[in-house]
């Protein structure tokens, strides 16, 4: 029967989750105790999941996917379906246009093409957060402030940096800049997902 076949396929997928969880944790060099602190899942439950003694549920897999910074379908080994091409939908944040170049992965790294207009006003403040960022300039110029460094990147130049280091980047002008960017989860939240806040009173 088709139902029996589907049950067998589901059982096979779930059986493979345990070894995949163990491999992801070991690749990160994390212990079960450290993973438990990150996810709030008990040590015994994590151990039973990795050994296949505990059936994985969505409530358990979601925090594990975030901790390991992988998409949920990658965690459970779901097969690729449908058209593999990405149909980006550009959107605007802080005056810059972002074109997604990868499917959204909440816990992983996402790629964007960014069209950045010349920056107007005071120099942006430096920020720090978890993760890393990578930039590749296609055209125009991008000014990168990184701790004590003040760099201007031109076409064909790239930069990669730990975002625990105070940083900011913007277009010093006079023409628009185009760049490719890779953002980790927090970098994407700050640069791509955050919306401009209200202007302070008395400013136009």
Secondary structure in 3-state letters for 138-154: EECCEEEEECCEEEEEC
Q: Is the pTM of this model over 0.85?
A: no
Within the chain, which residue ranges are assigned CATH 2.60.120.10?
A: 91-193
What pairs with residue 96 in β-bridges? 93
> Does the domain at residues 91-193 carry the CATH identifier 2.30.110.10?
no
Cis ω before 123 (30° cut-off from 0): no
How does pLDDT run across 123-143, given as a tens digit for each residue? 999 999 888 899 999 999 999
Q: What angle do the packed helices 2-28 and 43-51 form, to 10 degrees? A: 120
Which portions of the chain are predicted below pLDDT 70?
1-14, 77-83, 105-107, 194-204
How does pLDDT run across 152-185, given as a tens digit for each residue? 999 999 999 999 999 999 999 999 999 999 988 7
Phi, psi (degrees; rounded to nearest 5) at 50: -65, -30
pLDDT for the residue numbered 203: 40
CATH number of 8-76: 1.10.260.40
pLDDT for the residue numbered 200: 41
Within the chain, which residue ranges are assigned CATH 1.10.260.40?
A: 8-76
């Amino acid at each position: 029967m088709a139902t029996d076949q589907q049950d067998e396929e589901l059982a096979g997928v779930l059986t493979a989750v345990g070894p995949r969880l163990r491999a992801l944790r070991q690749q990160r060099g994390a212990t079960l105790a450290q993973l438990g602190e990150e996810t709030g899942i008990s040590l015994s439950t994590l151990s039973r999941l990795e050994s296949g003694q505990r059936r994985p549920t969505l409530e358990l897999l979601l925090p594990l996917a975030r901790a390991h910074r992988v998409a949920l379908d990658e965690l459970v080994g779901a097969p690729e379906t449908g058209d593999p091409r990405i149909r980006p939908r550009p959107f605007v944040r802080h005056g810059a246009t972002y074109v997604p170049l990868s499917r959204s992965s909440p816990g992983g790294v996402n790629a964007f093409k960014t069209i950045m207009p010349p920056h107007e006003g005071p120099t942006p403040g430096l920020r720090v957060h978890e993760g890393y960022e990578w930039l590749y300039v296609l055209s125009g110029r991008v000014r990168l402030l990184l701790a004590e460094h003040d760099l201007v990147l031109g076409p064909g130049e790239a930069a990669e940096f730990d975002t625990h280091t105070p940083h900011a980047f913007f277009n010093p002008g006079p023409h628009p800049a185009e760049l490719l960017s890779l953002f980790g989860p927090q970098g994407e939240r700050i640069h791509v997902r955050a919306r401009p806040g209200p202007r302070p009173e008395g400013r136009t």
